[in-house]
Structure 1
Amino acid sequence: MSQSQRVYNDTERDLVMLDGYLSNPDQRALAAPVIDRLVEGLAPLADAQYSWWDAALIPIREGLEALLVVGALLMYAKRAGSRKAKLWVAGGSAAGLLASIGAGFAVVLLLSSSAFGHNNLLINGWTGVCASVMLLYVSYWLHRHSDAKRFNRLLAERSTRALSGGHMFTLALLSFFAIVREGLETVIFLIGMASKMSGAELAAGIATGFFVLAAAALVIVKAGAKLPIRPFFLGSSLIVFYLCFKFMGSGIHSLQMAGILPSTVNEALPDLTTFSLYPSWYSTLPQLVFLACGCIAVVLSLWKGRRGRDVPVA
């Protein structure tokens, strides 16, 4: 992943396609070009050596998506003026970080990286699907409260259902899922690098990566707090919905790699790994459902806003 993001994404996709082609007698002839493509992409990286900067890129790349989720939740809590909500988000994030660190020690001391890699696919798959469903609601909430008057009414209600204890637990759970999903992949990648660099270089890279993430988190929270409510909430809604769409595709793809779901391939479906679009109905169909839900929510919001403007003022 540190050497080539493109090769990493293509390899993940090709492994599922290869499994799908080999398990279907009518498609086995299509497996040979996939194998050739895998060899062509991976062969130049077989003897790759790593530096501290490569180690830094892993937490930065893996952490940015989790940071966007946690940053949006923290800004939402800050806008709502709820200190308890911020503590729940921070607590969920800290729990996710501790779980990832604990998993790293477990792999080093107790397990093999290959055995953990398979379990990591299962964890990434289920957390990705769960986080995606929860993010769909967060995206809807942000879009719904992008109207300044509506949000001001929300702030005026000190004990609203949106900031109830149950909802704050949901915030903690979502931040936990976001951190664990990316944190476990970071563990796998860093363990794979550990034998190809000194301990000091590895530690320096990890520290640099987390420093960059911390700086980015500070910028996101500070900048978001100064933006007007409507563009802030609309922008956050789009980012969160994109992550919802992406987490669902990559989560189901991970379950296919783990063998939980069949690795079927449909050549007519789009294949864009950047957006977690894979040529399988198992991942594409839920994404289409989410996309339809998002379009319906936008249309209903515009329709209600238009009706509100058409109501005569007494």
Structure 2
Amino acid sequence: YDDLKGGIDDFIKGVPLDSTSSSLTLKDGIKLLEKALAQFQAGDDKTAAATMKKFITIWPTIEGDVSTTNPSLYTRVESETPVIMVKGKEKAYQDKLQALITDLSAIDTSASYNAFDAMLILLREGVEALLIVMALVTTLKAAKMRKGLKWVYGGAIAGVLASAVIAVILQVVFPAVTSGSNREIIEGGVGIFAVAMMILIGIWLHSKSSVKQCNDFMERQMKTVTATGSFVSMFALSFLAVFREGAETILFYVGIIPRITTANFLIGIASAIAVLVMIAVAMTKASHYIKPHRIFFILTWLIYALAFKMLGVSVHALQLTSMMSNHLISGFPTIDWAGIYPSWEVLIPQLIFIAIIAFVTVKQHGKK
């Protein structure tokens, strides 16, 4: 509200807009953090919070140097800065801000990237999407519904193509800051929609996780209507899983290309693909030694676990772009790998998610 009121007042007064730089660097972000720290220490909490908000706004533009060289620091910045913005008047959070400034300042932004850096980007962004796609592929093979595989593979390919298109649009059409924020908004919005699809498919998988229900399903699975419906939903989830991570991966690569040799870049990509292929092969081989109803059971909970994390990460991404409010829970931990963040906006949807899964699980067990 304050931002909107200030914007309207400036417009009425004829105050010219500040031009947005398209060449923001990590050093620009560090200067904002240093400025915010000085303001917090001087007791000017409102101005300091506005400075922190400005940092959070440009963060998606400058995060590439941090995410590729120090993933753990990248996680700390994303999880701690929204909290510091609200609680920066407290000495403990000023110390955290100083620690972030020190660690970010230690990153050498002039250094070149190597093949390992290029490999890590694709692995970090691609493993989660691969797990979802392979869970769908394994499900179809276990259910002897191989004609549905083209739907899953088609969804993944469509996700890659859509990611490339969106990445180009964000890079060309929007200025740097807007491009980064839009990417976070897309990741958050698509992620929440994907969670809804994952709940539906998880419920469908869970209903096949007993021997009797699995055998009954095998007898019915040739019915066209049921099969086609399942395939469409699997196409959608495969597409969303890949699309959610794809644009961000491509934009990260755009950012590092000027500072990496072509050979290292290609070696990194090839290495990441090789690792992803090994994961896919391992999942496929392992499924051959597990009975179909057990496969459905395992994949059900894999889908649920990934959906729980994706829900938290997606809401957090929307909070980073101010698309969603951020009411902090004092003393609540941040567990980034599980998608748990200390705010009611993250926790309440995750609790509702758990309640839905618990209700469905109890109801389906009652039918066995």
TM range (shorter): 0.7 to 0.9
The residue that corresponds to 1:33 in the other structure is: 95
The residue that corresponds to 1:42 in the other structure is: 104
State the Cα distance separating 1:78 from its structure 2 match.
1.6
Alignment RMSD (CA, Å): 2.1
The residue that corresponds to 2:79 in the other structure is: 13
State the Cα distance separating 1:186 from its structure 2 match.
1.2
State the Cα distance separating 1:115 from its structure 2 match.
3.2
Alignment of structure 1 residues 127-276 onto 2, 5 Å = 127-157=190-220, 158-159=222-223, 161-164=225-228, 166-276=229-339
Instruction: Output the CA distance in 1 between the equivalents of 2:266 and 2:178.
Output: 24
Name which of structure 1's ranges 113-122 and 129-138 shifts more when overlaid on structure 2.
113-122
State the Cα distance separating 1:140 from its structure 2 match.
1.9
Is the contact made by 1:154 and 1:160 (CA closer than 8 Å) also made in structure 2? no
Instruction: Output the CA distance in 1 between the equivalents of 2:349 and 2:267.
Output: 40
The residue that corresponds to 1:4 in the other structure is: 70
State the Cα distance separating 1:215 from its structure 2 match.
2.9
State the Cα distance separating 1:161 from its structure 2 match.
4.9
State the Cα distance separating 1:139 from its structure 2 match.
1.8
Long gaps (5+) in structure 2: 1-66
State the Cα distance separating 1:72 from its structure 2 match.
0.8
Is the contact made by 2:139 and 2:295 (CA closer than 8 Å) also made in structure 1? no
Instruction: Output the CA distance in 2 between the equivalents of 1:64 and 1:218.
Output: 13
**Number of aligned residue pairs:** 298
Select the residue among 69, 74, 92 that pairs with 2:132. Answer: 69
Query: CA separation of 1:266/1:36 partners in 2, compared to 1, >3 Å: closer, same or farther?
Result: same
* Percent sequence identity over aligned pairs: 30
Instruction: Output the CA distance in 1 between the equivalents of 2:88 and 2:298.
Output: 45
Query: CA separation of 1:34/1:263 partners in 2, compared to 1, >3 Å: closer, same or farther?
Result: farther
Is 2:138 the partner of 1:54?
no
Q: TM-score, normalised by structure 1?
A: 0.87
Instruction: Output the CA distance in 2 between the equivalents of 1:231 and 1:12.
Output: 38
Is 2:331 the partner of 1:294?
no
Is the contact made by 1:147 and 1:229 (CA closer than 8 Å) also made in structure 2? no
Instruction: Output the CA distance in 1 between the equivalents of 2:223 and 2:277.
Output: 32
State the Cα distance separating 1:14 from its structure 2 match.
1.8
State the Cα distance separating 1:49 from its structure 2 match.
3.8
Instruction: Output the CA distance in 2 between the equivalents of 1:144 and 1:123.
Output: 32
Instruction: Output the CA distance in 1 between the equivalents of 2:95 and 2:192.
Output: 31
Is the contact made by 1:124 and 1:181 (CA closer than 8 Å) also made in structure 2? yes
Query: CA separation of 1:204/1:113 partners in 2, compared to 1, >3 Å: closer, same or farther?
Result: farther
State the Cα distance separating 1:297 from its structure 2 match.
2.6
Q: TM-score, normalised by structure 2?
A: 0.75
Query: CA separation of 1:52/1:103 partners in 2, compared to 1, >3 Å: closer, same or farther?
Result: farther
Is the contact made by 2:202 and 2:300 (CA closer than 8 Å) also made in structure 1? yes
Instruction: Output the CA distance in 2 between the equivalents of 1:98 and 1:297.
Output: 35
Instruction: Output the CA distance in 2 between the equivalents of 1:300 and 1:58.
Output: 41
Instruction: Output the CA distance in 1 between the equivalents of 2:333 and 2:224.
Output: 42
Is the contact made by 1:75 and 1:225 (CA closer than 8 Å) also made in structure 2? no
Is the contact made by 1:92 and 1:174 (CA closer than 8 Å) also made in structure 2? yes
State the Cα distance separating 1:224 from its structure 2 match.
1.8
Query: CA separation of 1:296/1:255 partners in 2, compared to 1, >3 Å: closer, same or farther?
Result: same
Query: CA separation of 1:135/1:41 partners in 2, compared to 1, >3 Å: closer, same or farther?
Result: farther
Which AA in structure 1 matches 2:195? S
Output one character per residue of 1:87-135: Cα deviation in whole Å (capped at 9) or x when no partner. Answer: 1111110000112233444456555554321111011001110111111
Where 2:341 maps in the other structure, the secondary structure is coil
Is the contact made by 2:142 and 2:295 (CA closer than 8 Å) also made in structure 1? no
Alignment of structure 1 residues 83-102 onto 2, 5 Å = 83-102=146-165
